[in-house]
Amino acid sequence: MCSIIAYAGQRVAAPMLVQGLKRMEYRGYDSVGLATISNKHILVKKGVGKVEEVNKSLGLEKMNGSVGIGHTRWATHGGVTDTNAHPHQNCKNDIAIVHNGIIDNYSELKKSLIARGHKFRSETDSEVIAHLLGDFLHKKYDIKKAMINITKKLKGTYAFVAVFDDGTVAGARFDEPLIVGISKDGYFVSSDVLGFIEHTDKAIFLDNDEFVILNDNGHAIFNFDGSKVKKQVTQIAWELADAEKGRFAHYTLKEINEQKHTIINALFSKDSKLDEFCDVVAGAKRVVLTGSGSSYNAALIAKQLFSKYAGIHCEAVISSEFQYASGLLDKDSVLIAISQSGETADLLQAVKIAKASEARILSIVNTPTSSLARTSDLFLGINCGPEIGVAATKSFTAQLALIYRITDILSGQKLCPNKSDVERAIGKVLNDTKNIANIAEKIKYIGNIYILGRGLHFPVAIEGALKLKELVYVHAEGLPAGELKHGPLALMDENTTVIMLNPDDETYSDTLSNVHEIKARGASVIGVSNVNSNKYDNWIKIPKAKDILYPILEVIPLQLLAYHTALKRESNPDYPRHLAKSVTVK
């Protein structure tokens, strides 16, 4: 996905647009561009690279004008080139647009525009928006009418913002987030509150099928049919400081270290909606959990905990697979959707499908103003603050902690973790960086790595493997240790490295036998456990704790291992190649 930002007001736009794009760069970071208006002329500068680099080479911040738009790209249609970078313009260059999403019918629109003499400069789907607007305005210069007409034509998902040489800014949203920021000296339009959090905490969240027009008369919001909409102004909870790296070299390391607070907050959450949430789950005939990436791995742990401690048996379905799992839900069912961003397209589609079968929608989300939170019947916040690092870290453990809290209530307080024990244990694992950095040095050039665990440790093994994939670009696989003899053992030899999740709980002795089987084939084993073994080539010690806490205590060292190994391979842990923080396109 991409990030969009716009400003119209009294101040010089470019420096604020560049700063806003830097804050949203986790959304997509292969190319950047700005368009600003001064003296009824639109100036466009764009290029391949990260905001910092392109700003330095093209002087984006120095562009004149108090009206402008900006964009960071995560390529879907057309390669990563200067020409395909946004903004895109119409033939007369009196309009410039930035777009996030996918225009499904762009090629037929493009064909008919070319047939009417339009000249296209890029390979993107987005450029059709600029030419279509130009086409409508050519007939009659009425921007509101043009927005009504274009939203009738476009098929797919989109949030786009256009700037016109008369200084007007217009933006529309369909299945992609778009937010208006209201500051004392002007208006922002952005994909994310982080785009303007430095300047205001007052925001209007556009809903689907709405567009906004900013001009000398201020702001106005309309439905796609042109009817005016009165919208509520929301006070944003997040502070600017939350979105800063502070003393840390990377957001990922900062967010890993924030877990000493974020886990406790979620584990002892006092959310007033908790009891109602649990009542709905307990009252449902069928419970289905869904999520993508790390959020799906949290769903796998919820499935085990609800069943083991509360006797509630549920399904966990990957969001992108949900559309193929028909007949899963009905009016007596509940879908629990788990998401950090609350904007992941696959997950929002799963929610749409569940709503169509009249199921109740509960969600566990980090962004309380997200599309998921606003479309759910009831949502619980994990409240771990903005997560900028592309690989989920603190959001995953906060999801687990809130799931423990829910399980505790559903099971009649069977879990009840002790606060100071948890704080002490997390502090210990966060301090083991030296040992982990040494292990990272040893594994930095391996091609394959397997993470094994049983029971609750299996989903953690999958999550650990995901961190290594995301940050180290290595083939990493999370496997149920019990499956070893049914195939994966064939992969074990002196070139293989295995991470064994093996704290001394009910899985300990069976998993230790697996360690012996693996060592017998010559592979090297990194043991993650509160108990050492002479079979481990390397040991990552975690503190003795209540069994229920081991999934949280063992995933943190795996996050740190992925982080330190990425550094050893000189890749940027915050912006892994080809990925984005939340994927708002299918």
Residues noted as catalytic: 2, 581
State how far the alpha carbon of 572 is from the alpha carbons of 31, 40, 577, in Å: 16, 40, 9
If one asks whether residue 340 binds ligand BG6 (CB under 6 A), the answer comes out as yes
Task: Write b or e for each residue in 233-254: b if 16 or more Cβ atoms lie within 10 A of its Cβ, otherwise e.
Answer: eeebebeeebbeeeeeebbbbb
Kindly state the smallest distance separating residue 391's Cβ from ligand BG6, in Å: 5
Which tokens belong to 239?
Answer: 């502070």
Nearer to ligand BG6, 128 or 392 (CB): 392
Kindly state the smallest distance separating residue 431's Cβ from ligand BG6, in Å: 25
If one asks whether residue 339 binds ligand BG6 (CB under 6 A), the answer comes out as yes
Among 341, 369, 411, 584, binds ligand BG6 (CB under 6 A): 341
Q: Which stretch binds ligand BG6 (CB under 6 A): 171-179, 273-281, 385-393, 411-419?
A: 385-393
Kindly state the smallest distance separating residue 484's Cβ from ligand BG6, in Å: 27
If one asks whether residue 347 binds ligand BG6 (CB under 6 A), the answer comes out as yes
H or E segment and range at residue 205: strand 202-205
For 465, phi and psi rounded to 5 degrees?
-65, -40
If one asks whether residue 293 binds ligand BG6 (CB under 6 A), the answer comes out as yes
Site string for ligand BG6, 390-409 (x = CB under 6 A): xxx-----------------
If one asks whether residue 168 binds ligand BG6 (CB under 6 A), the answer comes out as no
Q: Which residue carries 């966060």 as its tokens?
A: 430
If one asks whether residue 21 binds ligand BG6 (CB under 6 A), the answer comes out as no
Whether cis (ω within 30° of 0) applies to the bond prior to 557 is no
How far, in Å, CA of 108 to CA of 277, rounded?
46
Nearer to ligand BG6, 22 or 581 (CB): 581
For 121, phi and psi rounded to 5 degrees?
-110, -20
Which tokens belong to 310?
Answer: 């509360």
Handedness of CA 289, 292, 295, 299 (dihedral sign): positive
Kindly state the smallest distance separating residue 169's Cβ from ligand BG6, in Å: 28
Nearer to ligand BG6, 127 or 258 (CB): 258
How far, in Å, CA of 365 to CA of 237, rounded?
14
The two most distant CA atoms of the chain are separated, in Å, by 80
If one asks whether residue 559 binds ligand BG6 (CB under 6 A), the answer comes out as no
If one asks whether residue 229 binds ligand BG6 (CB under 6 A), the answer comes out as no
If one asks whether residue 36 binds ligand BG6 (CB under 6 A), the answer comes out as no
For 521, phi and psi rounded to 5 degrees?
-95, 5
Nearer to ligand BG6, 473 or 508 (CB): 473
For 381, phi and psi rounded to 5 degrees?
-90, 140
If one asks whether residue 465 binds ligand BG6 (CB under 6 A), the answer comes out as no
43 three-class SS: strand
If one asks whether residue 514 binds ligand BG6 (CB under 6 A), the answer comes out as no
If one asks whether residue 154 binds ligand BG6 (CB under 6 A), the answer comes out as no
Among 295, 363, 375, 502, binds ligand BG6 (CB under 6 A): 295
If one asks whether residue 96 binds ligand BG6 (CB under 6 A), the answer comes out as no
If one asks whether residue 352 binds ligand BG6 (CB under 6 A), the answer comes out as no
If one asks whether residue 369 binds ligand BG6 (CB under 6 A), the answer comes out as no
Phi-psi region of 317 (alpha: psi -120 to 50; beta: other; left: phi over 0): beta
Kindly state the smallest distance separating residue 21's Cβ from ligand BG6, in Å: 19
* Residue 321 CB partners (closer than 8 Å, separation 6+): none
Residues touching ligand BG6: how many (CB under 6 A)?
A: 17
How far, in Å, CA of 211 to CA of 213, rounded?
7
If one asks whether residue 586 binds ligand BG6 (CB under 6 A), the answer comes out as no
How far, in Å, CA of 297 to CA of 316, rounded?
9
Nearer to ligand BG6, 3 or 294 (CB): 294
Kindly state the smallest distance separating residue 585's Cβ from ligand BG6, in Å: 11
Nearer to ligand BG6, 401 or 583 (CB): 583
Pairing of strands 156-164, 67-73: unpaired
If one asks whether residue 252 binds ligand BG6 (CB under 6 A), the answer comes out as no
Kindly state the smallest distance separating residue 309's Cβ from ligand BG6, in Å: 24
If one asks whether residue 370 binds ligand BG6 (CB under 6 A), the answer comes out as no
Contact status, residue 220 vs residue 213, Cβ threshold 8 Å: yes
Among 236, 491, 531, 579, binds ligand BG6 (CB under 6 A): 579
Contact status, residue 403 vs residue 301, Cβ threshold 8 Å: yes
Q: Side-chain half-sphere of 27: how many Cα atoms within 13 Å?
A: 31
Interacting residues toward ligand BG6 by CB under 6 A = 292-295, 339-341, 344, 347, 390-392, 579-583
